[in-house]
Amino acid sequence: MIFKDKVAIVSGGSRGIGREIVLMLAANGADVIFTYLANKEAAEGLAREVEKLGRKACPAQLDSRDFNRSKELIEKTKQDFGRLDVLVNNAGITKDKALMMMAKEDWSSVIDTNLTGTFNLTRNAIVTFLKQKSGNIVNITSITGMIGMARQTNYAASKAGIIGFTKALAKEVASYNIRVNAVAPGFIDTDMVSGLKEEYRKSLAQNIPLGRFGKTAEVANAVKFLLGDESAFITGQVIVVDGGLSIR
Amino acid sequence: MQDIDTEIRDLIAAIIEKEPEKIGPETRFMEDLGVDSMMALEILAAIEKKYKIVIPEEKLPELATLSATVKIAREYLAGKKNEQS
Residues A107-123, mean pLDDT to the nearest whole number = 98
Task: Give contacts of B57 with chain A, Cβ < 8 Å.
Answer: 127
User: Nearest 10 degrees: CA dihedral of A18, A24, A26, A30?
Assistant: -90
Residue A106's domain comprises: 7-240
The predicted-structure confidence for A63-101, as pLDDT tens digits, reads as follows 999 999 999 999 999 999 999 999 999 999 999 999 999
Which chain A residues touch B47 with a CB distance below 8 Å?
Answer: none
Classify strands A86-89 and A135-140 as parallel, antiparallel or unpaired: parallel
- In this structure, the dihedral spanned by the alpha carbons of residues A70, A74, A79 and A83, taken in order and rounded to 10 degrees, is 170
pLDDT tier for residue B85 given thresholds of 50, 70 and 90: low
Q: Is residue A167 part of a domain?
A: yes
Closest CA of chain A from B67, distance in Å: 23
A180 is a domain residue? yes
Mean of pLDDT values over A131-135 = 93
For B49, nearest residue in chain A (alpha carbons): A131
A2 within a domain of the structure (yes/no): no
Is residue B1's pLDDT more than 70? no
Give the angle subtended at the CA of A177 by the CAs of A173 and A181, to the nearest 5°: 65
The residue among B57, B58, B59, B60 with the most chain A CBs within 10 A of its CB, best to mutate, is B57
CA nearest to A89, candidates A18, A160, A30, A27: A18
Residue type for position A106: D
Task: Give residue A194's pLDDT.
Answer: 77
Domain range summary for chain B, segments of one domain joined by +: 4-84
The residues of A whose Cβ lies within 8 A of any Cβ of B are 127, 130-131, 176
Please list the residues that pair with A137 across neighbouring strands.
Answer: A87, A180
Contact B45 A176 (CB under 8 A): no
- Give the number of beta-carbon pairs within 8 Å between A and B: 10
Decide if pLDDT at B4 tops 80.
yes
Number of domains in chain A: 1
Of residues A70, A19, A73, A11, the one with CA closest to residue A41 = A19
Q: Residue A213's domain is classified under what CATH number?
A: 3.40.50.720
Mutate to test the interface with B, among A123, A129, A130, A172 (most CBs of B within 10 A): A130
pLDDT in tens, A190-242: 887 777 788 888 888 999 999 999 999 999 999 999 999 999 999 999 999 99
Instruction: Provide the percentage of residues in chain A whose pLDDT is more than 90.
Output: 92
Q: How much is the mean pLDDT over chain A?
A: 96
Please give the share of chain A, as a percent, with pLDDT higher than 70.
Answer: 100
| Residue of chain B whose Cα is closest to the Cα of A133 | B42
CB-CB under 8 Å, B41 with A131: yes
Min Cα distance B2 → chain A (Å) is 26
Catalytic center residues of A: 155
Average pLDDT over residues B22-51: 93
Identify the three-state secondary structure at position B45: helix
Nearest CA distance, B45 vs chain A (angstrom) = 6
Chain B residues with CB under 8 Å of a chain A CB are: 38, 41, 44-45, 48, 57
What is the average pLDDT across B29-51?
92
For residue A179, what are the contacts with CB-CB under 8 A and spacing of at least 6? Answer: A135, A136, A137, A170, A226, A231, A232, A234, A235
Cβ contact A31:A81 at 8 Å: yes
Question: What does the pLDDT read at residue B37?
Answer: 86
Which residues on chain B are in Cβ contact (under 8 Å) with A131?
41, 44-45, 48
CATH of domain B4-84: 1.10.1200.10
pLDDT tens digits for A139-195? 999 999 999 999 999 999 999 999 999 999 999 999 999 999 999 999 999 887 777
Res A95: pLDDT: 96
In a domain, A245, yes or no: no
